[in-house]
A = this chain, B = another copy of it.
Amino acid sequence: MGIDLSVNLGGLVMKNPVTVASGTFAAGQEYGDFIDLNELGALTTKGVSLNGWGGNDAPRIAETPSGILNSIGLQNPGVASLKQHELKALEAYTVPVIVNVSGHSFDEYIKVIESLESCNRVDAYEVNISCPNVDEGGMTFGTHAPSVEKIVGMCRRATKRPLIVKLTPNVTDITEIARAAEAGGADAISLINTVLGMAINAQTRKPELARVVGGLSGPAIKPIALRMVWQVHQAVSVPILGMGGISSGTDAIEFMLAGATAVAVGIANFIDPRSTMHVIEGIRSYCQLNGVDDVTTLIGGLQC
């Protein structure tokens, strides 16, 4: 039986539902020793800002029960460098590329997108609105629905390419934010980014991260991510890119049943650099065993 694993994520056609979570996969080159990047449904690059950021001091990671905290701080060399090096290197591949976009101001997001519009190696944007927003006094863009609608609307006008908006889970009502993103013109919604957390070393009486707080990800947050995907699936009509603790085909199926059209593998890449391939194989064998010949029939198929 030929199983159709392809999905359409808001205009981005993926031959299977699996991409990587931004920031866990750089721009792919490091994983080239372990997998064929062309086997991915799409490749999502590390967040890029206009002129680059240095990121936070080390230590930048801490291990927590079934998860990790990170405070990389969106270190990146800026969009010009991304185009010149990473996106250039990706010309040797056919995998669709999603570029994750960051900014500290409304304007910065737009400038990054504008700079990427000329580049053919960009197939879609994933706009990360979890950054602190200088325009609105440091509050994260993504926690305030009117800001979300505004920034998404501005990005929308800057590009015709598929526009994925990535939400932070650190909000009271994720559906309100998702609706704002949809209203602003998002083609798809990506969730979840990391959950704000903290770890302390009782012996040294210091935080484990130099930055004190950081973002929690990994299996620990999977229940939170699944819940938000399910809530958002009921609240909006655009497709969802689900992530948070996915490391197996079964995890991916759970996200699809909750309402995700595609999924991203994050810190599982650190544990096993071939994780993405295991997830794709796991989805395929689930479909085989369960007589699913079109993976899209699983989307939102939760029975409750």
Contact = CB atoms under 8 A, between A and B. Distances in A.
A271 interface: no
B223 A199 contact: yes
Contacts of A230: 198, 212-213
Interface of A: 64-67, 69, 143, 170-173, 195-200, 202, 204-207, 212-213, 216, 218-224, 226-227, 230, 245, 250, 253-254, 257-258, 286, 301-304
Contacts of A196: 224, 227
A296 B65 CA distance: 27
Contacts of A222: 64-65
30 contacts: A65-B65, A65-B66, A66-B66, A66-B220, A170-B172, A195-B224, A196-B227, A197-B224, A197-B226, A198-B227, A198-B230, A199-B223, A199-B226, A200-B226, A200-B254, A200-B257, A200-B258, A200-B302, A202-B250, A202-B254, A202-B257, A202-B286, A205-B257, A205-B301, A205-B302, A205-B303, A212-B230, A213-B230, A216-B223, A216-B224
A223 B202 contact: no
Contacts of A143: 172-173
Contacts of A220: 65-67, 219-221, 223
A65 B286 CA distance: 21
A304 B206 CA distance: 6
Contacts of A198: 223, 226-227, 230, 258
A303 B210 CA distance: 11
Contacts of A64: 219, 222-223
Contacts of A69: 223
A249 B171 CA distance: 31
Contacts of A205: 257, 301-303
A196 B202 CA distance: 28
Nearest to A227: B198
Given A195-B224, A286-B202, A304 B65 contact: no
Given A172-B171, A198-B230, A206 B303 contact: yes
Contacts of A216: 223-224
Given A64-B222, A197-B224, 10 more contacts: A64-B223, A66-B66, A196-B227, A198-B226, A198-B258, A202-B254, A206-B302, A207-B302, A212-B230, A220-B220
A227 B197 contact: yes
Contacts of A302: 200, 205-207
